[in-house]
Structure 1
Amino acid sequence: MLEDGRSFVGEAFGASGEAFGEAVFATGMTGYQETLTDPSYHRQIVVMTAPHIGNTGMNDDDNESEKIHVAGFVVRDPSRIASNWRAQRTLDEDLRAAGVVGISGVDTRALTRHLRERGAMRCGIGAASDDEGKLLERVRASPSMVGADLAPQVSTERPYVVAAGTGEPLFRVAALDLGMKRSIPASLAALGCEVHVLPARTGGDVLVGLAPDGVFLSNGPGDPATADHEVAAVRAVLDAGIPVFGICFGNQVLARALGFDTYKLAYGHRGLNQPVADAATGRIAVTSHNHGFAVRAPLEGVTETPYGRVEVSHVSLNDGVVEGLACLDVPAFSVQFHPEAAPGPHDAQDLFGRFRDLMAAYR
């Protein structure tokens, strides 16, 4: 049941019960396990546009966090079996074990077209035998994503360290966990970084006090307009001249620290097939996305900010949305997409190398 009153009937899939959240669609044809366990999907009901989901099952190695984070799951045609040499369980089994309510047999093409035309909106999954009017009331009473401060809800509670994959660490990185996927510190560790993962509410004095070679700002859920604490922490890092690299939610936090505004997209970018242009080189990368908010900044020219000149570095070729920022006078840059790209594509993986080179230059 969508908050505008449109409803779809299907069959129970996963756990039984009711679920409420923001209805969004993800266009990836693979990677449903990474999608389900991405903390950025906290409090969202995800509609998979690919019709056949679950054929490779679930395993213990591909999770991007310790649990499934989606509020609900909507698919067209769930696989009857898990057929993959790495599969340890079926998708349905993991959904039920996690208490995640799903629905199958839905015309996900029609649902996606509706969300594209009307925008992402609140929705609910419940028993078709219940009073539809009552379900609609509960949907409309559920919280909106606008104004939602969710990063602290999915962030690590205690700091921890991911050791450098090269043995002796070459760089020390302080990573602000705003809902970070596991593949991100793994990507940094592979380049020789010792990654200190810190809770979302970590203050700027702590970040600077670690004397890191660089500070990383992760992906995460919620409205960036609520991230005042994180913005203040990043400003302290910028004031100290420490290199900064942000992705997704981290891009929006850096943007706010620089003085830019953010806004909610109509239906967002979610999936593994989003084309992005690098303004400096003209190179086009197919990238992995998961964001419902974006940065408002001029696509051309240079903007003067309290931290010097800033320009838009990447632009979405689908709708012209800002997909990255580059600071020209302080060591900081960010992108709206996911260069770690678990499960793919890996066109933007070299951005981690750019961060490494920036840290080396400012050491």
Structure 2
Amino acid sequence: MLADGMRLGGQLKGTAQVAVGWLAANTAVVGFQEMATDPTYRGAVLAFTYPEVGNVGVTDAFSESPRVQAAALVVKVLSEYRSHYRAERDLEDLLREGGVPCLCGVDTRGVAVHLREAGEMAAAVAPADADPDDLLQRLASFGRPGVPPTDTVRLDGDGPQ
């Protein structure tokens, strides 16, 4: 559900829980793992407009941080297969490990157009039995997210920090 009341039906995968965050639409064709683990998307509901997401699988070496940073994902199709020769697991496995829900079966291109026309807003991803009034109340009180300056992401390596 979006803050303006627009409802997005679909199937919940990953973890069945409520997640509220600022809606970010991404139009990239590849890089879903990198975007989901990128600290700049921390707490965001990340909608991918490419029709199928997760088809190459997940390789830990490609992550931008040690865990999924997005609060939730919204996709048209979450692939059940992985095709990259280095893939270690499926995207849904990564989401489950991080306790992150993924709403599937959504016209994400339509969501991107709606977002462009209506302006930025918060979104909630929730199980079907969640109370719509409660979700709208959460969305109405949701402030613009930010990464507090005390939060840091530490990566191993010899390069500049």
Closer, same or farther in 2 for the Cα pair 1:155/1:54, shift >3 Å?
closer
In the TM superposition, what is the alpha-carbon distance from 1:95 to its structure 2 partner?
Answer: 0.3
Q: Give the equivalent residue in structure 1 for 2:140.
A: 140
Distance 1:59 1:161 in 2: 17
Distance 1:32 1:152 in 2: 27
Cα RMSD for the two superposed structures: 1.7
Supply the AA of the counterpart residue of 2:116: R
Distance 1:149 1:17 in 2: 22
Larger strand percent: 1
Q: Give the equivalent residue in structure 1 for 2:17.
A: 17
Q: Give the equivalent residue in structure 2 for 1:47.
A: 47
* SS of match in other structure, 2:151: helix
In the TM superposition, what is the alpha-carbon distance from 1:155 to its structure 2 partner?
Answer: 3.8
Q: Give the equivalent residue in structure 2 for 1:150.
A: 148
Supply the AA of the counterpart residue of 2:97: A
Distance 1:106 1:119 in 2: 19
Q: Give the equivalent residue in structure 2 for 1:59.
A: 59
Match runs of 1:252-271 below 5 Å: none
Match runs of 1:299-310 below 5 Å: none
Q: TM-score, normalised by structure 2?
A: 0.92
Match runs of 1:159-308 below 5 Å: 162-163=157-158, 185=159, 195=160, 197=161
Superposed CA deviations along residues 221-274 of structure 1, whole A, max 9, x for unmatched, are: xxxxxxxxxxxxxxxxxxxxxxxxxxxxxxxxxxxxxxxxxxxxxxxxxxxxxx
* SS of match in other structure, 1:13: strand
In the TM superposition, what is the alpha-carbon distance from 1:153 to its structure 2 partner?
Answer: 1.9
Closer, same or farther in 2 for the Cα pair 1:149/1:31, shift >3 Å?
closer
Distance 2:156 2:85 in 1: 32
Match runs of 1:89-168 below 5 Å: 89-145=89-145, 148-156=146-154, 162-163=157-158
Q: Give the equivalent residue in structure 1 for 2:5.
A: 5
Q: TM-score, normalised by structure 1?
A: 0.42
* SS of match in other structure, 1:46: strand
* SS of match in other structure, 1:111: helix
Which stretches in structure 2 are left out of the alignment for 5+ residues? none
In the TM superposition, what is the alpha-carbon distance from 1:102 to its structure 2 partner?
Answer: 1.2
Q: Give the equivalent residue in structure 1 for 2:29.
A: 29
Distance 2:109 2:72 in 1: 18
Superposed CA deviations along residues 37-84 of structure 1, whole A, max 9, x for unmatched, are: 110001111000101101101012101111110111010011121122
Answer whether contact 2:42 2:147 (CA < 8 A) is retained: no
Supply the AA of the counterpart residue of 1:20: V
Q: Give the equivalent residue in structure 1 for 2:74.
A: 74
Identity %: 33
Superposed CA deviations along residues 110-166 of structure 1, whole A, max 9, x for unmatched, are: 111100111221111112222212211112222323xx453432444xxx8843xxx
Superposed CA deviations along residues 307-343 of structure 1, whole A, max 9, x for unmatched, are: xxxxxxxxxxxxxxxxxxxxxxxxxxxxxxxxxxxxx
* SS of match in other structure, 1:153: coil
Supply the AA of the counterpart residue of 2:63: N
The number of aligned residues is: 161
Closer, same or farther in 2 for the Cα pair 1:51/1:151, shift >3 Å?
farther
Which stretches in structure 1 are left out of the alignment for 5+ residues? 164-184, 186-194, 198-363
Higher relative contact order structure (alpha carbons within 8 Å, sequence separation ≥ 6): 2
* SS of match in other structure, 2:94: helix
